[in-house]
Amino acid sequence: ALDFHLPVNGLQNGAPDGMALVDATPAVVQFLSYEGTITATAGPAIGSTSTDIGQAEGSSTAIGDSLQLVGTGTGYDDFTWTGPVAESPGSINAGQTFDGGGGSSTTSTTPTTLPPGPVADVIINELDSDTIGTDALEFVELYDHGIGNTALDGLSLVFFNGSSDTVYKSIDLDGYSTDGGGYFVAGNPAVAGVDVQFAGNGLQNGADAVALLVGDYSNGDPVPGASVIVDAIVYDTNDADDAGLLALLNAGQPQVNEDGAGDKDNHSNQRCPNGTGGARNTSTYQQWAPTPGAENICTVPVLDAGFQPIHAIQGSGLASPYVGYLVSTTGVVVGDHEGVSPTLRGLFIQSADHEADANPETSEGIFVFLHNTGDNFQVGDYVEVHGTVDEFFNQTQIGNVTSIVKVSDGAPVTPATVSMPVGSVDEWEAYEGMLVTIPQTLSVTETYNQVRYGEIELSSGGPLDNPTNVAAPGAAAAAVSQANTLRRIQVDDGMTNQNPDPTPYLDIADPVRIGDTITGLTGVLGYSFGRYEIQPLDTAPSSLVSFDRTNPRPVSPPSVGGDLTVASFNVLNYFTTIDTGAAICGPSGNLGCRGADSVAEFDRQKAKIVKAILALDADIVGLMEIENHVTDAALDDLVAALNADGSVDYKKVDSGFVGDDAIKVAIIYDEDAVSAVGAHAVLDSSVDPLFVDSKNRPTLAQTFQDSESGGRFTVAVNHLKSKGSACDDLGDPDNGDFQGNCNATRTNAATALVNWLETDPTGSGDPDVLIIGDLNSYAMEDPIAAITDAGYTDLIRSFQGVGVAQDAYSYVFSGELGYLDHALSNADMTAQITGAAFWHTNANESLATDYDLDFNRPPGNYQDTLYRASDHDAVVIGVVTATSAMEDIAQVGSEIDELIATSNSHAGRHLAKAKKSIDKALNPSYWDGEMIDSKKVFDQLKKAVKEIDKASDHGDVDSGEAEDLIAVLVQTARDAASEALNDAEAAPTRPRHLDHGWERLLKGDDEAAKGKWDKAISNYRKAWQEAEKAVK
């Protein structure tokens, strides 16, 4: 008999209802129904119609009655259905006889269950779902009872969610096998020896279940029947039993509590003794220190090493030679972290000075894990400890302490001095558990984990440079990366909880920033989650180290000079559509949202972004990571909020939605300072296939004109593909040269960009181009080289330099600083740039003070300031717009047209003649590009000056306004003559003409000073002609 365990009320009453019996292929063996027939619309029986058994249970059917087969034979067709009659689960039905003969059925009624061979010997042997911190050490261990190298084909490791009793993750084990010892481990990447990985925090803490099943499964699948269950464990952390999941187990088997021994963070559920209990039985599970991929110890070792000094227990390697041994030792308490969670729940003890050995490779300190004991000791106590040595995630400790007593009030302990950078990371092992002092000045280089884990990363020699921000990709960058590794050390807060409140090391009024320093750092060296770190001496807040505020917040943007300011600013996913988790964003409303998760978060975000942009006081701002909304709602919202301040009058470049990503680039500008000239232009895949717009956000370009000078230039705003996600679908993986994912995709986009800009996509007729934006490439990477090789200047490198020491960074990732945000100008534009710099209001700041409330961050950390408005610093560029001679002359012509419209007939006639001369002066045949190529230009300017002067004599044209127009034309003539003379001076063939030319230039200046404008232009013309003769 084969029993199937169903959840309560899991079998429906009709009419009609039915069930299909399928084999492992899966082919339908039988498809039966009651109270009518059914045609299946899904599953293995799809399209088939059931056979009605012809019997039914009604509302009057007694509890304990069922429908049954009766008769004599061996096959289904030998029997008939009857009932309701008394049920007989697990036994032959009354009136049913199997006689071994006859029977006309040719279809087997025995379903396929487990695959053949040794797979039936594989069980779930150990599971750890709840670990310290963010559950980065979860795992499930399979065991084949020591057979070894057992193929796991046909099986899946399936995770069930207790809230719905359905599948939330399935790992297909085809192609995998146990190791030589019979073990197989699926777990987080940080778990030692893991065979197949799943993401951290990916195994729920209970009440949930993990099952080893035959076949493949999808999310949402229910608990299956017993025929496909190889083994299972239903577990929790102090939760109520889940009856629906317990159906995975044999009847009567218990749900397993990972906190059964009171130490869920440091224990796993494991079969004790190793491998015992049998499939689908959980009665032998106990809670002990995790042993992924190895035998479950399940008991205090009987090995007793007696008294051993701490340096002997530590040994000279990365692990203790006494793991598993009961030891006794003595030491002085140098770190008191007793108490209940979230403390470390133990003590760091160190050999007294007189007990230390002379071997520099053996540590004199060790951690003693005391579980949830009270506060019985203090720093300075000399104690004797009895317990068992183990490596708790690679930190040597004494656990399962049977006794610890204070021997005396202490003995001298001298902190070990560690100089940085170390020669290798393994050098720290010789100081594990010890009181150490680092005499150098260390700088804060990362605060990413400050708010969540109370950790701050420090480095010697200043904050760390991102390798490809200062070195060429490949070997040179690898050398920087290796050097960075040796310069790092982390400071922790001595606690294990997430999002502690208050946030350690955070002074709301003056938060710790990257670049702040500490000299002579002293603390206890621990090891956790793959990192050596300095722990405080005890759990008191006053024990946390203090930092010198050597990198104070900048009050105002950097001074970059110029008449206009251009800025580039990544606004960190400014979305007016709240991110509820639904796919409702993007132009088509089918993408996930990326911004604030609530109205409260958005209000906080908006306040910071608005303050930051207003303080930038830029005339043109390129924006990245603005919501790509079909109605442009986010950009409109931001512009309205900026203009509500009253100090500016920003207008957007009305591009609408651009591309099909959830975010886009945008441009806003101050209408009082500049005007947009002509239409904007967009670079996407339709313009150049090199520019893959499914990865890169389309580029937006717009030409602007300076309201004062009339000078024009084009701004192109960009946001290239990030390094975070792969471009394997384009054959563009991370090739290991430190440029990250998608480098070729970004490089191709950069090439397409400069080629496109060369075509004057906005039709401006002006050659001046400024590229800005988040190029997701550091200074030395290929995409930047593609742009600079095309004749563009990296303005940050030009004005600031390279690396952290030169303030050349806008972003920090993994404690390394560099700039992804760029400003690059072509040759025509570079001469008009007066400065470029980053405003360090974001990258240096702790996440603790930003708008985000994820992970239950303390809401009181938020500051209603411009600081940490984004994770990128803004780029600020100073511009003095230059105009060509033709542009200056044309501008005078435009102003004359305006005067004609308001002048009397006499003045108007003279102005019309002046305009006619202006138009003649602009005859293209008189020019070589933007250079005067004919004396006729000077002659026409002279005529225009005379007519403007006459117009002012009639009193209808303001004399001051007339003189301004005349001054522009006279200066244009002088500049042309001066430039020609300077060019000729470089290589004159007839020097005497050059001398005559300079004499004429000076004479023209004298005439201009006397107000004799026409004579001044005549002399400038002669000076220009002499320059021409000097080189003929």
How many C-beta atoms surround the C-beta of residue 510 within 10 A? 12
Indicate the angle between helix axes 991-1009 and 1013-1030, nearest 10 degrees. Answer: 170
**Residues 6 or more apart in contact with residue 56 via CB below 8 angstroms:** 14, 15, 34, 35, 67
For the chain, give the percent of residues with pLDDT over 70.
95
pLDDT digits (tens, 9 = 90+) for 577-600: 999 999 999 999 999 999 999 999
pLDDT digits (tens, 9 = 90+) for 344-359: 999 999 999 999 999 9
- Contact indicator for 77, 105 with CB cutoff of 8 Å: yes
Among left, alpha and beta (phi > 0; psi -120 to 50; other), residue 987 is beta
How many C-beta atoms surround the C-beta of residue 971 within 10 A? 15
- Domain 117-288 architecture: Sandwich (2.60)
Where is pLDDT greater, at 297 or 75? 297
Instruction: Rank 17-26, 237-246, 743-752, 999-1008 by mean pLDDT and report only the highest.
Output: 743-752
pLDDT digits (tens, 9 = 90+) for 114-140: 444 445 579 999 999 999 888 889 999
DSSP-derived letter for residue 726 is: -
Task: Give the pLDDT of residue 155.
Answer: 93
Task: Give the pLDDT of residue 13.
Answer: 74
- Contact indicator for 689, 683 with CB cutoff of 8 Å: no
* Range with the poorest average pLDDT among 466-470, 545-549, 686-690, 904-908: 904-908
pLDDT of 960 strictly over 90: no
Task: Give the pLDDT of residue 462.
Answer: 97
- Contact indicator for 1031, 1015 with CB cutoff of 8 Å: no
* Range with the poorest average pLDDT among 81-85, 437-441, 600-604: 81-85
Report the mean per-residue pLDDT for the chain: 91
pLDDT digits (tens, 9 = 90+) for 183-205: 999 999 999 889 999 998 899 98
- For 600-644, the DSSP string reads HHHHHHHHHHHHHHHHHT-SEEEEEEEE--TT-HHHHHHHHHHHT
- pLDDT band of 747, cuts 50, 70, 90: very high
Mean pLDDT to the nearest integer, 790-811: 96
- Contact indicator for 446, 457 with CB cutoff of 8 Å: yes
For the chain, give the percent of residues with pLDDT over 90.
69
d(CA 727, CA 704): 35
Where is pLDDT greater, at 724 or 428? 428
Mean pLDDT to the nearest integer, 100-112: 35
pLDDT digits (tens, 9 = 90+) for 878-924: 998 877 788 888 889 989 988 888 877 788 889 999 999 999 999 98
Mean pLDDT to the nearest integer, 696-724: 94
pLDDT digits (tens, 9 = 90+) for 272-286: 999 998 999 999 999
SS3 67: strand
Task: Give the pLDDT of residue 809.
Answer: 98
Where is pLDDT greater, at 309 or 96? 309
d(CA 755, CA 746): 14
Task: Give the pLDDT of residue 114.
Answer: 42
pLDDT digits (tens, 9 = 90+) for 21-43: 876 556 677 888 888 888 877 66
Homologous superfamily of domain range 300-413:
Nucleic acid-binding proteins (2.40.50.140)
As given in the structure block, the two tokens for residue 132 are 């310290």
As given in the structure block, the two tokens for residue 360 are 């520099």
Where is pLDDT greater, at 987 or 399? 399
Give the type of residue at 234: V
Mean pLDDT to the nearest integer, 88-116: 54
As given in the structure block, the two tokens for residue 432 are 């594990």
- Contact indicator for 233, 285 with CB cutoff of 8 Å: yes
d(CA 574, CA 881): 31
- pLDDT band of 708, cuts 50, 70, 90: confident
Mean pLDDT to the nearest integer, 75-84: 83
**Residues 6 or more apart in contact with residue 924 via CB below 8 angstroms:** none
Task: Give the pLDDT of residue 856.
Answer: 81
Task: Give the pLDDT of residue 113.
Answer: 41
User: Whats the size of the chain, residue-wise?
Assistant: 1032
Q: Which long-range contacts (CB under 8 A, 24 or more apart) does 961-965 make?
A: 961/899, 965/892, 965/895, 965/896
pLDDT of 750 strictly over 80: yes
Where is pLDDT greater, at 541 or 466? 466
d(CA 922, CA 246): 90
Q: Is 739 exposed, middle or buried (0-12, 13-18, 19+ CB in 10 A)?
A: buried
- From 907, 1020, 1016, 903, select the one nearest 966 (Cα to Cα): 1016
* Segment (H or E) for 1009: helix 991-1009
Task: Give the pLDDT of residue 941.
Answer: 94
**Residues 6 or more apart in contact with residue 71 via CB below 8 angstroms:** 78, 79, 80, 95, 96, 97
- Contact indicator for 157, 171 with CB cutoff of 8 Å: yes
d(CA 67, CA 93): 10
Task: Give the pLDDT of residue 644.
Answer: 95
CATH number 3.40.50.720 given to 564-879: no
* Range with the poorest average pLDDT among 118-127, 385-394, 442-451: 118-127
Task: Give the pLDDT of residue 74.
Answer: 75
- pLDDT band of 100, cuts 50, 70, 90: low
* Range with the poorest average pLDDT among 667-676, 691-700, 831-840, 975-984: 975-984
Task: Give the pLDDT of residue 117.
Answer: 40
Task: Give the pLDDT of residue 346.
Answer: 96
pLDDT digits (tens, 9 = 90+) for 521-536: 999 999 998 999 999 9
Task: Give the pLDDT of residue 101.
Answer: 41
